[in-house]
Amino acid sequence: MLIFTVIGLSMAGIPVENLLGLTCEELEELTVAHHQPRYRGRQLYRAIYARRQTDFAALTDLDKSFRQRLSTNYRVQYPSIERRFESRDGAVRYLLALEDDQTVEAVSMPEEDRTTLCLSSQAGCAVDCHFCFTALLGLKRNLTAGEIVGQVLAILADRQLPAQSRLNIVFMGMGEPLLNFASVMKSVKLLSDSGGMAIPWRRIALSTVGIVPGIKKLASEAKRPKLAISLNASTEEQRTALMPVNRKYPLRDLLAACRVYPLRPGERLTFEYVMIDGFNDSPEDARRVAKLLGGLRAKVNLIPYNPGPEMPYHSPLPKRVLAFQKVLTERQLPAFIRVSRGQDVRAACGQLSLAGLDVQNHPAPTT
C-alpha cells in the first residue's frame, strides 16, 4: 500500500497514472494488483467509459477504502480544452492540450439526429501533403489510445451530450491513423465496446492517405472501422505533385490493395477527393477518377478545398464541383459533395494549431 502511494504520486502530489485508455482486462488486472476482486475492474471500466465519471469519490458502488486508494494513486483525466471556436453552422472546433502540452484538434459537428466527432490520431503529421495545414507542423508524436478516446470524452463533457448520444466518429483530424496503427485500433476497440462507450463499428471511419501496408493490416483485423482513402488526384503524376507519399505507395498499388479489401455486406470504400481550383477539378479528372475506381464498391466524397493564407490553393467554382459530381454519377459512381463545415473558425485540418506559427508557404504544385 505504502509502495503504491509513494510511486503513484508526482512531486506536486498529483497521482501520476491516468487510467484513460486502459481496457477492461487491464483495469481488472489493476484491481487484482490492489487485492480487489476482478469484477471491481469491470465496475471501474463501466464508470470511466459508460458513465463517463472522472471522480473516484463518486463511484459509490466501490468500497470506500478502494476508492481512496484509487484517488491516491490514479486519475482519469481528459485532454484539456485550450481553445474552443463555435462556428455559425453549429460546428465546434477544439484545440486540446495533452499532458506534455502538445496540442491536437478535434471537431464536433451536430447533425439532425446525431453528432459527428472528428478526431486526431497524431500530434502533427509526418506525411507531407502539399495542400494540408497539418503537414506544415511536421510530426510531433503519436497519440495514445487514451488521448484518442479522451478527445471524445472531453467533447461530450463540454457539449453536455448525454451518455446515449448517437455519434459518428471519423479519424480525419490531425495525423495519419495508419501510421499509429496500434493505438488507433486500441482506441477503436474502446470506443466500440458495448460494455463501455458503445459506438457501433459501422459508425467509426478511418481516413488514410493510402498507406498500403496499413490497409493490408487493417484488412486482416476481425473488427475494423470503415475505410476512407484520400484519393485527391486522377493520375499518378498529379497525385505525386500533391501528395509525395504517392512515390512510396503509388495509385496502382493503392487501388490493387483496395480491390482485395474485404468489405462487409452493403459496405463501400469511401474515396475522398479534395477539389482544388484549376488543379484537379476538370471533367477530364472526373472521367479518369471514374475509370480508376471502376469495378470497386466505392463512393466518392468531393471536398471543396478549404483555403488558408499559408497555402497557394483555392476552392473550385461551385459549378465545377457540380459538373465533376455529374460525371461520376453518370458513370454509376455515387458521389457526394461535402461542404466544409466550420469555415469561419478555420476548420480545415491543422489550421488551429498553425494559427500564430510562422510557417513557410508550400509552392504551388505543377504537373
Radius of gyration of the chain (CA): 22
Strands 115-118 and 122-124, bridge-based pairing = unpaired
Q: Residue count at the site for ligand SAH (CB under 6 A)?
A: 17
Site for ligand SAH in 249-278 (CB under 6 A): 272, 274
Binding-residue pattern over the window 296 to 325 for ligand SAH, x denoting contact by CB under 6 A: -------x-xx-------------------
Q: Which is nearer to ligand SAH, 272 or 285 (CB)?
A: 272
- What is the Cβ-side half-sphere exposure of residue 36, based on CA atoms within 13 angstroms? 21
Instruction: Report yes or no: 8 and 68 within 8 Å, Cβ to Cβ.
Output: no
3-state SS assignment for residue 59: coil
If you search the block for the grid coordinates 451518455, which residue do you land on? Answer: 163
By CB under 6 A, is residue 151 in contact with ligand SAH? no
- Single residue of 31, 115, 230, 240 touching ligand SAH by CB under 6 A: 230
Closest CA to 266 of 217, 334, 212: 334
CB-based burial label for 337 (10 Å; 0-12, 13-18, 19+): middle
Question: At closest approach, how far in Å is the CB of 347 from ligand SAH?
Answer: 9
Query: Which amino acid is located at 49 in the chain?
Result: Y
Candidate segments 68-76, 129-137, 158-166, 279-287, binder of ligand SAH by CB under 6 A? 129-137
- Single residue of 172, 204, 255, 327 touching ligand SAH by CB under 6 A: 172
Q: Which is nearer to ligand SAH, 76 or 172 (CB)?
A: 172
3-state SS assignment for residue 251: helix
Cross-strand pairs, 275: 304
Question: At closest approach, how far in Å is the CB of 225 from ligand SAH?
Answer: 12
Question: At closest approach, how far in Å is the CB of 228 from ligand SAH?
Answer: 7
Strands 139-142 and 74-75, bridge-based pairing = unpaired
Site for ligand SAH in 231-250 (CB under 6 A): 232
Q: Which three cell numbers stand for residue 59?
A: 463511484
Whether the CA torsion 324, 264, 179, 292 is positive or negative: it is negative
Sequence length of the chain is 367
Q: Which is nearer to ligand SAH, 131 or 261 (CB)?
A: 131
H or E element that contains 298: strand 298-304
Q: Which is nearer to ligand SAH, 251 or 274 (CB)?
A: 274
Closest CA to 148 of 114, 174, 125, 166: 174
Q: Which is nearer to ligand SAH, 56 or 273 (CB)?
A: 273
By CB under 6 A, is residue 105 in contact with ligand SAH? no
By CB under 6 A, is residue 176 in contact with ligand SAH? yes
Q: Which is nearer to ligand SAH, 78 or 305 (CB)?
A: 305
Candidate segments 55-63, 106-114, 130-138, 248-256, binder of ligand SAH by CB under 6 A? 130-138
Site for ligand SAH in 200-219 (CB under 6 A): 207-209
Q: What CA dihedral angle connects 159, 162, 166 and 172, to 10 degrees?
A: 30
If you search the block for the grid coordinates 463533457, which residue do you land on? Answer: 157
Q: Which is nearer to ligand SAH, 36 or 121 (CB)?
A: 121
Q: Which three cell numbers stand for residue 101?
A: 502540452
Site for ligand SAH in 330-349 (CB under 6 A): 348-349
- Single residue of 22, 132, 188, 204 touching ligand SAH by CB under 6 A: 132
Residues taking part in catalysis: 105, 349
Candidate segments 73-81, 128-136, 188-196, 263-271, binder of ligand SAH by CB under 6 A? 128-136
CB-based contacts of 189, cutoff 8 Å, min separation 6: 23, 223
Binding site for ligand SAH (CB under 6 A): 131-133, 172, 176, 207-209, 230, 232, 272, 274, 303, 305-306, 348-349
